[in-house]
Amino acid sequence: MRRFNLLAAAAVIATGFAATAPASAEPDRNIPASMQLSQQALIGRITAMAAKPAPVGPEAGRLLAMVSAHQQGHDGALLPVLALLPYIAEDKVTPDMAWALATVDRVKLQQQQIRTEREQITTQLNLLGVAAQNVNDDEALQLARDVAASVLADIEVTEPTAFMIAAYLRTKLTRS
């Protein structure tokens, strides 16, 4: 089963790259395929965990609602900015990338709300972890750790990278 999933992911990635390979230098506003697959896998695992009986299922269900909302809001805004990286790496900055500046500026204005969401998710992860420990559910405990790592990756990598992309674009676009 694991091998099939990896092959399916590889096919989706290959198809995604083929579908989004630039025929021109015009970048799109899609979430990078690797991040989209990662998000879908995480949501799938949380959804499966939410179907378990109490105490794990209800805690995972609450986590699912929080993580889904966070992905649609904050991640849904910032992840498309990361799709500009291949263009920036090839020094193909164009004026039509200016949308990323407005997106990042909007996210920066929402920092307190984002911080609050992350604190709520962390609290819910702790509740899921306690529930998992109480019933010796190693799978649920590992899921809580994996979601925590995903939130940490947002803080340490995704958000700063999007902010750096915007700063770089602002410099390049104001020179043009």
- Per-residue pLDDT tens digits for 125-171: 999 999 999 999 999 999 999 999 999 999 999 999 999 999 999 99
Residue 111, pLDDT score: 94
> What 3-state class would DSSP assign to 145?
helix
In whole angstroms, give the CA distance from residue 80 to residue 107.
13
Average pLDDT, the chain: 87
b/e burial code for range 60-76 (CB count within 10 A of at least 16 → b): bbbbbebbeebbeebbe
Residues of the chain with pLDDT > 70: what percent? 84
Q: Which residues, 6+ apart, have CB-to-CB distance to 164 below 8 Å?
A: none
Residue 3 to residue 139: CA distance in whole angstroms: 19
Q: Is the peptide bond before 55 cis (omega within 30 degrees of 0)?
A: yes
pLDDT at 160: 97
What's the pLDDT tens digit per position in 85-129?
999 999 999 999 999 999 999 999 999 999 999 999 999 999 999
Q: Tell me the three state secondary structure of residue 112.
A: helix
The tokens of 143 are what?
Answer: 């899921």
Domain count, the chain: 1
**pLDDT at position 28 over 70:** no
Query: Is the pLDDT at 8 greater than 70, yes or no?
Result: no
Expressed as residue numbers, the domain containing 34 is 2-175
The model's pTM: 0.83
Q: Residue 99: which residues within 8 A CB-CB, separation 6 or more? A: 29
